[in-house]
Amino acid sequence: MKYNKQVSDNPMQSSMICIGLLKCLLTVVMWNGIICTDLCKTYKNADVYIKAVILLKTRSECLKEYGSDYFINRMVAEGKLFRVDKGIFSEKEHVPELALLSYKYPKAIITLDTAFYLYGFTDEVPDVCTMATKREAAPISDKRVKQIFMPEELLGQGRTTMEYKGYDIQIFDRERMLIELVRYKSKLPFNYYKEILGNYRRILPQLNTEKIRNYAVAVPKSDKVIRTLRTEVY
């Protein structure tokens, strides 16, 4: 193969080509197990892993990258960086609210009506994002968030990551949300509960029954939860 002599003889141009090729290699990761750098997140369940550069950054991360508030503000003024929330910056001008909230409160997990909507069990769009935290957590003073508290040992059960409009958000899996539906039955509008329950029945073969069983025995008033599952779900 012949190369352009003018390019190959120029050390600066050659270096730039190498850097460009390296960036390309960091963009696509094949199934053979190449490890991601901590600058990227991996989207799984595909023959080819497409890696997306992390778009959200805290002020401290920006300071490490750009050196000072002066350079951060200059990046913002040039439209290369966007201030999307207090102390949070993005390389994109518009960030989905749920993605922003999940990033801003990384120890909180999306649950109840917000999770039911995201999983497609209802088409009723929630007014706020419902997020679960451990009992000892500080209150979240954010009008966009409805915070519920639970024992720390329950917070990790069924916690998973969902890709939402190109961003990773923390949410309980579908099996855990079935348990939450039963637990909060008396606090939910009757028709809303029936809608979600009916949609769960339609996908029962897709659910992991062992997970459901394990989650059911771990929550408070497990006998009541298990009885409701047997009489209304299965």
- Condensed to tens digits (0 to 9), the pLDDT of residues 132-153 reads 999 999 999 999 999 999 999 9
Residue 134 contacts residue 151 (beta carbons within 8 Å) = yes
pTM of structure: 0.76
What is the 8-class DSSP label of residue 45?
A: S
How is 119-183 classified by DSSP, letter by letter?
Answer: TTS-----SSEEEEEETTSPP---TTEEEEEE-HHHHTTTEEEEEETTEEEEEE-HHHHHHHHHH
**% of the chain residues with pLDDT over 70:** 77
More confident residue, 148 or 19: 148
pLDDT tens by residue, 55-114: 899 999 999 999 999 999 999 999 999 999 999 999 999 999 999 999 999 999 999 999
